[in-house]
Amino acid sequence: MATLTDIALSAAINILSAFAFFVAFAVLRLQPFNDRVYFPKWYLKGVRSSPTSSGTLVRKFVNLDFRSYIKFLEWMPAALKMPEPELIDHAGLDSAVYLRIYLIGLKIFVPITMAAFLVLIPVNRTNDTLAKSTVVHSDIDKLSISNIKIGSQRFWVHIAMAYAFSFWTCYVLLKEYEIVASMRLHFLATTKRRPDQYTVIVRNVPPDPDESVSELVEHFFLVNHRDHYLTHQVVYNANKLSKLVEKKKQLTNWLDYYQLKYERNPSKRPTRKTGFLGLFGTKVDAIDSYISEIDKLSEEEAVELEKIKNNPKSIMPAAFVSFRTRWGAAVCAQTQQTRNPTIWLTEWAPEPRDVYWNNLAIPFVSLTVRRLIAAVAFFFLTFFFMIPILFVQSLANIEGIEKALPFLKKVIEMHVIKSFIQGFLPGIALKIFLILLPTILMLMSKFEGYISLSALERRAAGKYYIFLLVNVFLGSVITGAAFEQLNTFIHQSANQIPITIGSAIPMKATFFITYIMVDGWAGVAGEILRLKPLIIYHLKNFFLVKTENDREEAMDPGSIGFDSNEPQIQLYFLLGLVYAAVTPFLLPFIVVFFGLAYVVYRHQIINVYNQEYESGAAFWPAVHGRIITALIIAQLLLFGLISTKAAAQSTPFLVVLIALPVFTFYFHRFCKNRYEPAFVRYPLQEAMMRDTLEQAREPTLDLKGYLSNAYIHPVFKALGGEDKLSIDDEKDFDSALVPTKRQSRRNTPAASKYTGSSSPSLPDAIQEQQLL
């Protein structure tokens, strides 16, 4: 079990690591040849030029102004200067609202930390319960609720503070939900025109033997949305073509590399081996080999493109449907289209940048099966990952290591080594085990079939949060308590085991403190150094870059990584809320994380990250819900903890405590009903206002020209085939009839009362009217 000395050693290591990262960043960011690594956002916006274009040869690569190195932390206040409205214009609403998550952490935990240190720590420290017990403990545990004797009236202080913490958290969440909902509505009302404002995606289009999918979609929407339908674009299965294009791009990069290599040394033609990874096989001329492979892929591309154009099976039963007005799109996206709720399913289309095209080719009927398979796989992943968690906990237990590796006992018992193992190693080991997890969870989400990058990231974030909750938090608490109190469990009666567990749970705070320092201090500081993008950029710059366009493509600005970063933030909310009334000593470490992370990520969002999409902060309800979940878990754990320690006087304690999660749940319901509609629906009043203003300001706007190719698959645009794959020009129809190719009818009445997937023929409709 980590002691104060172990924590101090871990803090020193992580503070020095963070400081080293900041110093390295301060030096590297000032060098002209690193400018595109640390300020790519401004290059993409076209407002920054390369500093390597002027000056002496040395100054093109090294900054010789030594005065600029003195203020190596000047980037911190610079990152805080940009006002939030300007930040939204610069980086988007998603990025600005993401930063507010860190601000919420500060708003919640700074007052809670001050109150806990003023009230709870004195109450806990003025007891001697642990000193008189046989439970393994450290000096930190004497500051926790474990140091309160069973049946003490001092538990009322912890209950009162739990109420205060809960009410304060709910108050902050209420205000933030109101602010973010207002920001979203304002953003939607003032943002520039975007294709997704006029477009819905319709899925599960029912088959028709007489009409193609494109004709059927046009026919359906001309009948049922006659006054607002404008155009549509069917969805093609271009996954195979995309793979060919991507493979060709990779081969072209290699060809460019070898051609550049040959230009530098014309006396020797470069060669390569044709086998696995270029390590085995026949040696051939590299340039001729890649030219041959690229030509072959070009032929395959042409064949596949023709197949997509001419094969009806390449068209999926889905389409992007655009309307003349935002109002018309909102009505279509937010209503049921037919009597059968399983066909003609409509929802808001993602913005074109946000579309995940590969999943559009997945048949809608297979999505349920896919999601069931993914749920089962996620369950087993979560369950089996408990094994490395047990290993991490064993690292925190010196006795366990000595039993497994007795020959290391003398080395382990050395004071510095012991402090390093207990105070630093568990946190870094857990961090290493979690490195590949976000990638695995993202692959699972893609398998489930979500059609937008934002939905994929939100889904992956949800899985990651559950994983961290079950394995990292509950797994560490339960297994850690069993490891550390094993000797006590064996030598006590069965009715004393729950009391021992109640005392042991707060003691896991030391493990989480080490994890916070590794991941939340050194890890966040390491984020700003961008070591991996730095290395990759210079490798590309040295081997592949020939023009300014090549240099721009070599930049990797990255993004905020919502799928991995947000769940980790939620883990800190969970730890802070759980341990606020149990072990308040952990809270300052949480506050340092939120403060440091806010400054670092604000700098990265302003200067580095280039967000791939803009969802208008659609992720906020999930963020709010997970903080509420953490608060309820904290309340339930405190309820269970006090129930093991209050003994005969437990009834009044438990009655008061059980009201907290009930209140929190109903608070969540209130917020959900009051504010969440702003994140899932678009108010028709707002849509009508935007349409009216647009028609007044731009009466001659060619909206169809703006929307006609907005949702063409990017691979077709890259190959220049979008014109042949876009729909035909809109036709003028009689005000009452819409032509159809169905053999049973030549025209379909446009009356909106017929909203089924197959409208009745004109004679049938007339006959029905006569009968009425």
Reply yes or no on whether the pLDDT at 757 is more than 50: no
CA–CA distance, 724 with 311 (Å, rounded to integer): 14
Residue 199 lies in a domain: no
Please say whether the dihedral angle defined by the alpha carbons of residues 362, 366, 370 and 373, taken in this order, is positive or negative. negative
Residues 423, 525, single domain; the answer is yes
- Going by C-beta distance under 8 Å and a sequence separation of 6 or more, which residues neighbour residue 113? 584, 587, 588, 590, 591
Mean pLDDT of the chain: 81
Q: What is the mean pLDDT of residues 703-712?
A: 88
Least confident of 123-127, 278-282, 615-619: 278-282
User: Coil, helix or strand for 345?
Assistant: strand
User: Coil, helix or strand for 202?
Assistant: strand
Residues 388, 462, single domain; the answer is yes
Least confident of 374-388, 473-487, 704-718: 473-487
C-alpha distances (whole Å) from 161 to each of 141, 298, 631 are 19, 69, 13
Q: Which two tokens stand for residue 353?
A: 């940048």
Residue 205 lies in a domain: no
Residue 535 lies in a domain: yes
Q: Point out the domain boundary residue: 612, 646, 680.
A: 680
Element (DSSP H or E) covering residue 263? helix 239-264
Query: CB–CB of 356/456 below 8 Å?
Result: yes
Query: CB–CB of 396/426 below 8 Å?
Result: yes
Nearest by Cα to 321 from 288, 345, 286, 297 = 345
Residue 732 lies in a domain: no
Q: Point out the domain boundary residue: 656, 680, 704.
A: 680
* Maximum alpha-carbon separation in the chain: 100
For 49-63, write each residue's pLDDT tens digit. 766 545 555 556 676
Residue 432 lies in a domain: yes
Residues 562, 600, single domain; the answer is yes
Q: Point out the domain boundary residue: 621, 652, 680.
A: 680
Tokens 């399983």 found at: 342
Q: What is the pLDDT of residue 734?
A: 47
- Going by C-beta distance under 8 Å and a sequence separation of 6 or more, which residues neighbour residue 548? 50
For 444-461, write each residue's pLDDT tens digit. 999 999 999 999 999 999
Residues 216, 187, single domain; the answer is no
Q: What is the pLDDT of residue 136?
A: 58
Residues 511, 629, single domain; the answer is yes
Element (DSSP H or E) covering residue 576? helix 562-579
CA–CA distance, 44 with 40 (Å, rounded to integer): 6
User: Coil, helix or strand for 282?
Assistant: coil
Residue 742 carries which side chain, given as an amino acid letter? R
Q: What is the pLDDT of residue 763?
A: 39
> How many separate domains does the chain show?
2
Residues 187, 218, single domain; the answer is no
Q: What is the dihedral of CA 283, 287, 288, 293, to 10 degrees?
A: 90
Residues 322, 470, single domain; the answer is no
Reply yes or no on whether the pLDDT at 726 is more than 80: no
Question: In 265-385, which residue ranges form alpha helices assigned H by DSSP?
Answer: 286-310, 326-333, 367-384
Higher pLDDT, 650 or 257: 257
Cα radius of gyration (the chain):
31
Q: What is the pLDDT of residue 127?
A: 77
Q: What is the pLDDT of residue 515?
A: 83
Residue 744 lies in a domain: no
For 574-594, write each residue's pLDDT tens digit. 999 999 998 899 999 999 999
Tokens 């608490």 found at: 477
For 212-239, write each residue's pLDDT tens digit. 888 899 999 999 998 999 999 999 988 8
Reply yes or no on whether the pLDDT at 732 is more than 70: no
Least confident of 319-328, 387-396, 658-667: 387-396
pTM for this model (two decimals): 0.84
User: Coil, helix or strand for 314?
Assistant: helix
C-alpha distances (whole Å) from 339 to each of 256, 470, 753, 755, 758 are 57, 42, 11, 7, 11
Q: What is the pLDDT of residue 162?
A: 92
For 633-677, write each residue's pLDDT tens digit. 999 888 878 877 764 455 676 777 788 999 999 999 999 999 999
- Angle of helix 4-28 relative to helix 415-423, nearest 10 degrees, comes to 70
Nearest by Cα to 681 from 424, 330, 338, 353 = 330
Q: For the chain, how many helices (H) and strands (E)?
A: 37, 8
Pick from 145-149, 154-158, 259-263 the range whose average pLDDT is largest.
Answer: 154-158
Q: What is the pLDDT of residue 709?
A: 85
Reply yes or no on whether the pLDDT at 409 is more than 70: no
Q: Which two tokens stand for residue 694?
A: 């647009």
Q: What is the pLDDT of residue 576?
A: 94
Query: CB–CB of 232/218 below 8 Å?
Result: yes
Residue 759 carries which side chain, given as an amino acid letter? S
CA–CA distance, 559 with 567 (Å, rounded to integer): 16
Query: CB–CB of 198/707 below 8 Å?
Result: yes
Q: What is the pLDDT of residue 483?
A: 47
Q: What is the mean pLDDT of residues 132-146?
A: 69
The number of beta carbons lying within 10 Å of the beta carbon of residue 549 is: 9
- Going by C-beta distance under 8 Å and a sequence separation of 6 or more, which residues neighbour residue 593? 105, 516, 520, 521, 524, 572
Residues 384, 485, single domain; the answer is yes
Query: CB–CB of 198/326 below 8 Å?
Result: yes
C-alpha distances (whole Å) from 128 to each of 137, 485, 596 are 12, 19, 36
Nearest by Cα to 611 from 98, 198, 189 = 98
C-alpha distances (whole Å) from 325 to each of 151, 201, 694, 695 are 67, 15, 10, 10
Pairing of strands 737-739, 747-749: antiparallel
Q: How many residues does the chain have?
A: 772
User: Backbone phi, then psi, for 61, in 5-degree steps?
Assistant: -120, -25
Burial letters 10-31, b for 16+ CB under 10 A, else e: bbebbeebbeebbebbbebbbe
Residue 767 lies in a domain: no
Residue 367 lies in a domain: no
Residues 272, 398, single domain; the answer is no
Percent of the chain with pLDDT strictly greater than 90: 34
Residues 156, 265, single domain; the answer is no
Residues 300, 441, single domain; the answer is no
257 pLDDT band, cuts 50/70/90, is confident
CA–CA distance, 310 with 305 (Å, rounded to integer): 9
Nearest by Cα to 179 from 187, 191, 190, 167 = 187
**Residue-range definition of the domain harbouring residue 217:** 212-348
Residues 123, 60, single domain; the answer is yes
Q: Which two tokens stand for residue 328?
A: 């018309």
